[in-house]
Structure 1
Amino acid sequence: MSRCDFKIVLLGSEHVGKTSLVIRFVNCRFNASTPYQNTIGAAFCAKAMCVNGKTFNIGIWDTAGSERYEAMTRMYYRGAHAAIICYDPASLPSWARLRHWLQELRTVEEDCKVYLCGTKKDLMDSGAAARDVPEDIVGTYSQGLHGHYLTSSKTGENVDELFQKIVEDCAADIKVMKNIEEQRVQLQKEEDEKRKVYCYC
């Protein structure tokens, strides 16, 4: 993929399911038998999405949740158009760390659109896990942000809806779209110059 129009970063503590969320969205799969592995630094993947008849390439950076990698992961926030901050509704500590991730993000990208994502909804729906983060607190905290979604990477519930909303919001942002169009024009100029160099006709 030659370019990414929108950059999305995923933030959140360890074990909240950030990588599973990305895999479900990009590859439409979930593998519960895969052993847990810490993301080191950040993992990148991309996907094309269509909004209002236009195709956009989105780049997704899945950042490490471990505190020992924090200094490394901050560099991936720069230039982000949107951020998904994940937490586990059955884990109050993961919610407590959410404010930290938001502050970290704001010091690098103040205008980044922020979306809260509660993960592992299937575990609460089945009774395998009990909610530990009160819904009213989540509702109050998310009011100043761009949205809140409860998702399940296992069933796929609300995963596509979350990313679709992000891309729609970015596509509706005049400032963001102006920058994208300028980047596309510049990229086209560079590609045209390359063709001239390698044309021997």
Structure 2
Amino acid sequence: MSAKRVDAKVVMLGKESVGKTSLVERYVHQRFLVGPYQNTIGAAFVAKSVQVSDQVVTLGIWDTAGSERYEAMSRIYYRGARAAIVCYDLTDSSSFLRAKFWVKELQNCEEQCVIYLCGTKNDLVECDRSARQVDYHDVQDFADEIKAQHFETSSKTGHNVEELFRKIADDYCSSAFEVMSEDKGVNMEQKGNFPYSCCRN
């Protein structure tokens, strides 16, 4: 019996330079890019299929620009998202405040979107505990309050990256999501003028 295919739209949100694109790069291409890079403009798109039991879930990932000047544009990309990875930088307390902003946006505009809070750059705080500017327990309390999953990740080492996206795929195939059949899923061919690039944000 062939596997049932379902599609899930996933949007990456968060302040610029928190590492959203690095997260996607690590998950999709198993690499961490170093050196100068450009900030994402608008959004970039990539898709990856995951086998979950007897289903194949295609995660259509929209990596949005983090700069506030693209805020209105980001709203276009999270529309209809089944899951949102709201990122913050463990070494930047202001990025967690920005993450809370995006959570409120999603709660107001996309009530059916399942939220995953993602602390990035865990490798930096593992090397130097004093670099941590966002307390784990504060974020976990917030995650419990909004009924969100919480992960701390490192795109450099790969820590918890696979686990984050696997959890989204697993949840999508469980009661955490209202699973859509293939003909009602996200059309992965409609990428518009925003192909996925190696830009990081």
Normalized against structure 1, the TM-score is what? Answer: 0.84
Would you say 1:183 and 2:184 are equivalent positions? Answer: yes
Note the 1:128-147 alignment, pairs <5 A.
Answer: 130-143=131-144, 144-147=146-149
Deviations 1:57-101 (A, max 9, x none): 110000110000011110111110000000011101001111111
Q: Where do 5+ consecutive residues of structure 2 fail to align?
A: 188-201
Give the SS at the match of 1:176. Answer: coil
Give the number of the structure whose residues are more often helix, by fraction: 1
Per the alignment, residue 124 of structure 1 pairs with: 125
Contact 1:77-1:108 at 8 Å conserved across structures: no
Report the CA distance between 1:182 and its aligned residue: 5.0
Distance in structure 2 (CA, Å) of the matches to 1:42 and 1:162: 21
Normalized against structure 2, the TM-score is what? Answer: 0.84
Note the 1:76-91 alignment, pairs <5 A.
Answer: 76-91=77-92
Give the SS at the match of 1:44. Answer: strand
Contact 1:115-1:145 at 8 Å conserved across structures: no
Per the alignment, residue 49 of structure 2 pairs with: 48
Would you say 1:157 and 2:159 are equivalent positions? Answer: yes
Higher RCO (CA < 8 A, seq sep 6+):
2
RMSD of Structure 2 on Structure 1 (CA): 2.0
Report the CA distance between 1:181 and its aligned residue: 4.8
1:70 maps to a residue whose letter is: E
Per the alignment, residue 191 of structure 2 pairs with: none
Q: Where do 5+ consecutive residues of structure 1 fail to align?
A: 188-201
Report the CA distance between 1:106 and its aligned residue: 2.3
Identical residues among aligned pairs (%): 51
Contact 1:90-1:129 at 8 Å conserved across structures: no
Larger Rg: 1
Q: Which runs of 4+ in 1 moved over 6 A?
A: none
Q: Which moved more, 1:8-17 or 1:105-114?
A: 105-114
